[in-house]
Every structure is written in structure tokens, then in C-alpha cells.
Structure 1
């Protein structure tokens, strides 16, 4: 094992392999370099390694590694991509691992390349001959944008683990619920003209004002009718994220777009949200025929819920010393759950550092994470239950 890097060096090499995922083609990068890096490490530890290109992506790949034989077992999963960065807001090079104030700094240290560095150190301690059930390691593509890698992996149904842990940064608190996410663009088509003759045009902004009023009513209805106290924002949310329209003060606005996102509670289906949105706009669509439309901006991510009365949740709470919780952001958990396994989100680092300049992983998380991962493997791969 001497040829394999230690934790610090492996984290350094992962950070140095850029794998930005973005809807803007100027930022978007392939992830083959980091997938090949991981594949090489796990292959040298006698894992069976499988690499699959993700359809309809810009040169993106998933990696699945397997150690041991038999059915069930444990899946440790994470995404290989990061968000874009503004180098001017960083105090160090985002693609170079830096140590300061008892912290590792670098893009992906907690979200979430660091998780793979932990898994590598864990894997060095394992012997397949002593394993009763397999350990799987999954590295996905494009979690930060479309979640295409996790969607594709769920479609493939290559494995059927008993349990899965997704190592997003939760400060090692087991997460058993999160909201879903979808984003749409509502467009209003008006008729441009000179502002001195408003009766000869149709002002798209004026119609959009009415659209916003309808959506405000929908927001109120969601708040009044749906509530889950497990979340610190207990109701579904509808956010007005961006609006643009018109081109000059003395022209009637001929077109206006409003971008919104909606975050659903577990138990609310995407189809229901879409129907509520359509119902809210229906009166205006009748009043202004063929002028109002909406379209999905990005593929939606469903909400997630793992029943707390499960072997995985009970063990994770005991081993981590933390009570399970719910979070407002979305993860790959609902797709991994489609494999038929008990699923939680639990990993080192804080979500407060994710997507931020000077992202870091505290030294204090290192020993606790190593211990927790080893206990998970001992429980779900080394013994028969």
C-alpha cells in the first residue's frame, strides 16, 4: 500500500483535479481526471472498478468500485464535481490544498471530494477475505447541476446494497429528510410599441405583475396548508429568483420572463407542484390567450425521506452521537434510495462552507470521520445480521 497516498496527499490530489459542473458551458468541465484518479486508487486495493459515461452530458462519468462478495452490503456515495468559483474572493488558490488555522482549505474539501479521501484511507484497512457483505464506492457526475450521474445510476440498477450513506457535509449528523427542488421560467409575450400609444400594444410587465400576484397567493396557500416542523423552514417555498423584460423606458414591454424555484416537503409530488402552478396561472391564461407560458429550467430533484425506524438510522445516531435531522437543500439521496436501500446523508464538514469562498474542512473532523466510516463497514459488511 506504500504507493497509495495518505489522507492529506489524497485530498491534495483530488482538489487539484478540476471537475466543475455548471449550466454555463464556459465553466463546465468533464470529470474524467478525477474519476480515473479514484479508479486507479481503488483498483490497486483490489476493488472491482466500473466506469460508465453518463448519457447526455459533456464528457461526464460515474465510477462504481466494489470490494467483497455476496448480496446487500454498504454503499458509500458522493459526487465528483464542484461548483464554479470566484478566485478573487479566495485567500488561496482554490485548486491547491492549503492548511491554516487547523483547517484544510480548497475547492471541494467538504463538498465533497474530501469524502473520497476518507474512504480511501478506510479501504486500506480492509481485507475482502474478512468481509461477509460487499462495500461499494460510488462517485457520480453533475450533482451540482442536473444530478445526471445519480439519475443514470438509479436507472441502471447495477447493485442492491442494504444501506447507503451519501457523504455530503452534515458535520456527521445523519440527515433523513430534505426538500425537493424545481425551477421554472414563466414567460409573458406582449406586443411592443411606442409608449405614447399604450392602447396599440400589450405590456408584458403589466401582465407579469398579475402573474406575481397569483403566485403570491399560491405562496400563502402553501404556507397555510403544509407544515413539517422537522425543517427550520417548515413550509414549502416559492422564490422569485430573477426577472427581466423590456428594453427602453419609452417602449411598451413586448416580453417578460420570471424565474422561480419551488422547494417541496416530503410527501408532495412534483406533479402536484406543477398542477398548483398551472392552476394559479389558469385565470390569467384565459384572460390573455397564448401570452403566458412556463417551462422547466432544470430537471427537478425530488424530496427525500428515510423512515427513522431503520437499522441504518439507529446505528448512525449511536455511532455519530447525533440525532437525525432534516435539511432544506437537495441531494442525490432520492435517487440512491431507488436502489431499494435504507439511505441517509452524513458526512464531514459543514454545509455552511459549501459553495463559499475559502471552503474548508476542519482538522477536528478527520479522526471522527475515520472512526465513523470504519464502524459503518464493521456493522454492515463484516457481520451477518
Structure 2
């Protein structure tokens, strides 16, 4: 057996390698340190590895590591980046693996660097066995910000396989469906002036009041039109997240900006929703005497939906003992599904522990996860067959 670090050492080294991705440049970091570690370990195991730099994103790359050859096969996928953190709110250094209370604490233990050592541990059993279909371990960039890594894979049409498991934290419950995510900004330019005479200006704040009313009415219409009972929140949501405008009580507000997010259900098109918002807000410009611009803060994450009866969904349900569920958070699943793979989201840890101080992965998640991944590799790569 090739000499690579044990599971805990791998996890410790990954947590100690910062790879924050963020839309704010001051926070954003390269993920190459994580990619290089994974590439070293997987190549040592006998995987063929390819590091894929992300065009237009310096210091960012994906890793495609393949064991075996042939069509079909299984992808075990995870993202290498983490969200930013407030280190002062942690009870331990977020970049040092801390073992206490039967948990591993550290930034990325749950979301989702912790998945890679478990996937590699499961793969160890099969490195000297004659795989009938390939096993691919996929590591992506910037899932927490731009999704540039997943978008680059979609553009390249790679990797190709029959099945894909994205190891986001779900408590090892299979997820077959999730909402999409849009984050948009509305920027209004009016005309500042002395507040004693309203005719001297055009209030961007008053125009924003009209915009907010239209968005709330739009949300109400969407929720009347669309519903999917498998979600805990069964309707699309639209959240008015933050607003900034004006500079003094005695000045007419010349500029105002609102940022909001919209989470569409499967079957709702991001492009169609954006066009509807533009058409809805544009007519407000003339009566308020302002300019209204709507801009996407990032391209958006499409919603994801697999068939409840798909081969991989049924197999995951049998292995875990849990029925497939739907979640509201977004993942890279729609990009892999669009590459033609039977895709689920299923990984160790829980989303409740992600994106907050003292993120952790419970010890009790490790052996069951490795065992389930071994079963999937056995079925889809070693045997190369599936019940259909």
C-alpha cells in the first residue's frame, strides 16, 4: 500500500492550509496549496491527476484524479475552499485541527475539506484491484463565492462519468433536489438637493421604497404560482438583505442601493426571473425621475433536481437507511448533472455546523461515511454494474 498520511493527518494538513474564497478581494485566497496536497496524495495512490487552472481566476484550480479507465464510473466531488471566518469568536485556532468532545474542530472540517480524507480512505481499498469502471475524485475551486471551478468544468465538458456524489454536509442523508440562488443589486441614481425644497432633487430613497414594494409583490406572486412540498420551505423565497443610501437628514438622497437574494425552485429559470425583475422595475424610473440599474452580484446557482427513482438515489437510500430529501442551500450538483451524471449531494457533517464559529465534524460520522463510500465504489467501479 502506498505510504500516504493517515486520515487524521490528511485532515490536519488540509485545515492548516488556508483557502478562503470570497467576493471581497481582501479575504480571497488561492486554493493551490490544497490542490497540491490532494494531487500529491492521490498520485501516490496511483491516480492519474490533472490540475486544471481556472481561466481568469489567478491562483485557482480544479483537480481531476482518476483511478482506472473506461466509460461510466463514479465521481466523488468536493470543493477545496472555505468561507471567511471570525477567528476571535472561535474557541480554538480555526486553521489548526482541534480534537475535543468527540469532534474535529477547524475551518472546513464540515464544509467541506473533511470529505477528501474520507474519500481517499475509501479509495485505498481499491488501488490494487481491477476496476471495471473508473473512480474519479474531483476537487473544485471557489464554490463558496463564484462557482468558477464548477463553471470551468461545465465549459470543458469534464469529467465524464455515470454517477456523482457531492460530499457537502448532509449528515449522510441523500439529497436529490435543492433550490437555486440568485443574488442581485438594485442601484438607484437620483438627484441630491436641499431637503427644504423637494423640487430641487429626486429622491433615490423614495424610489427605492417603490422598488421594494414591487419586489415584495413579485415575491407574493411567485409564491402563489410555485410550490414544491418536498422542501421545508415549500415556496421560492426573496430576501431583502441590505440597503444603503443617503448621507444626511437634510439632503435629498441622491443614491441608494439594495441587495437581495432569490431562491428559485426547480423548474424556475434564473434568466427568466432576471428579465421579469428588469421589466417590473424599469417603469418606476420616470415617475420618480431616477435611473434604476439591476445587476447580478454573481451568475447564480441553478436549482437542482434528480429523479427520486434514479439508480444512485435508490442505492444511497438503501445504504444509508434515509429517504432522499430536498434542501434550500445551493451546491455544484446542477453543473455535474448537466454533464450527464446521475447526481446526489451526500456527505458527513451537518449544514448547521457550516459557516459559523467552531465548525466541526463529529467522530461518529467518519466510519459510516467511509463504509458507504466503499460500498459505492464497490458497486459502480469494481463491479461496474448497477441495478436498472
TM normalised by structure 1 equals 0.98
Which residue of structure 1 lines up, in the alignment, with residue 319 of structure 2? 319
Which residue of structure 2 lines up, in the alignment, with residue 254 of structure 1? 254
Deviation at residue 279 of structure 1 after TM alignment: 3.0
- Is 1:194 aligned with 2:194? yes
Which residue of structure 2 lines up, in the alignment, with residue 216 of structure 1? 216
- Is 1:98 aligned with 2:98? yes
Deviation at residue 278 of structure 1 after TM alignment: 2.0
Q: Do 2:107 and 2:359's aligned partners in 1 also have CA atoms closer than 8 Å?
A: yes
Which residue of structure 1 lines up, in the alignment, with residue 64 of structure 2? 64
Q: Do 1:62 and 1:139's aligned partners in 2 also have CA atoms closer than 8 Å?
A: yes
Q: Do 2:202 and 2:290's aligned partners in 1 also have CA atoms closer than 8 Å?
A: no
Which residue of structure 1 lines up, in the alignment, with residue 151 of structure 2? 151
Deviation at residue 12 of structure 1 after TM alignment: 0.4
Match of 1:83, SS?
coil
Which residue of structure 1 lines up, in the alignment, with residue 384 of structure 2? 384
Which residue of structure 1 lines up, in the alignment, with residue 364 of structure 2? 364
Deviation at residue 216 of structure 1 after TM alignment: 1.2
Deviation at residue 286 of structure 1 after TM alignment: 4.5
Deviation at residue 272 of structure 1 after TM alignment: 1.8
Deviation at residue 196 of structure 1 after TM alignment: 1.2
- Larger deviation: 214-223 or 272-281? 272-281
Deviation at residue 145 of structure 1 after TM alignment: 0.2
Q: Structure 1, residues 275-302: CA drift from partner, whole Å, max 9, x if none?
A: 2212321431343466111111111110
Q: Using the alignment, how far apart are the partners of 1:117 and 1:129 within structure 2?
A: 20
Which residue of structure 1 lines up, in the alignment, with residue 269 of structure 2? 269
Q: Using the alignment, how far apart are the partners of 1:18 and 1:127 within structure 2?
A: 29
Which residue of structure 2 lines up, in the alignment, with residue 307 of structure 1? 307
Q: Using the alignment, how far apart are the partners of 1:23 and 1:278 within structure 2?
A: 24
Q: Using the alignment, how far apart are the partners of 1:250 and 1:358 within structure 2?
A: 45
Q: Which runs of 5+ in 2 are unaligned?
A: none
Q: Using the alignment, how far apart are the partners of 1:123 and 1:384 within structure 2?
A: 15
Q: Do 1:80 and 1:140's aligned partners in 2 also have CA atoms closer than 8 Å?
A: yes
Which residue of structure 1 lines up, in the alignment, with residue 294 of structure 2? 294
Q: Do 1:67 and 1:128's aligned partners in 2 also have CA atoms closer than 8 Å?
A: no
Instruction: Kindly report which structure 2 residues correspond to 1:116-135, keeping only aligned pairs within 5 A, or say none.
Output: 116-127=116-127, 129-135=129-135
Q: Do 1:43 and 1:49's aligned partners in 2 also have CA atoms closer than 8 Å?
A: yes
Q: Using the alignment, how far apart are the partners of 2:129 and 2:319 within structure 1?
A: 25
Q: Do 2:122 and 2:371's aligned partners in 1 also have CA atoms closer than 8 Å?
A: no
Q: Which runs of 5+ in 1 are unaligned?
A: none
Which residue of structure 2 lines up, in the alignment, with residue 115 of structure 1? 115
Q: Using the alignment, how far apart are the partners of 1:104 and 1:84 within structure 2?
A: 19
Match of 1:139, SS?
strand
Q: Using the alignment, how far apart are the partners of 1:129 and 1:101 within structure 2?
A: 37
- Larger deviation: 193-202 or 339-348? 193-202
Q: Using the alignment, how far apart are the partners of 1:127 and 1:55 within structure 2?
A: 32
TM normalised by structure 2 equals 0.97
- Is 1:374 aligned with 2:374? yes
Q: Using the alignment, how far apart are the partners of 2:170 and 2:292 within structure 1?
A: 41
Q: Taking structure 1 as reference, are residues 2 and 48 closer, same or farther at Cα in structure 2, changes over 3 Å only?
A: closer
- Larger deviation: 123-132 or 225-234? 123-132
Q: Taking structure 1 as reference, are residues 128 and 71 closer, same or farther at Cα in structure 2, changes over 3 Å only?
A: farther
Match of 2:82, SS?
coil
Alignment RMSD, CA only?
Answer: 1.2
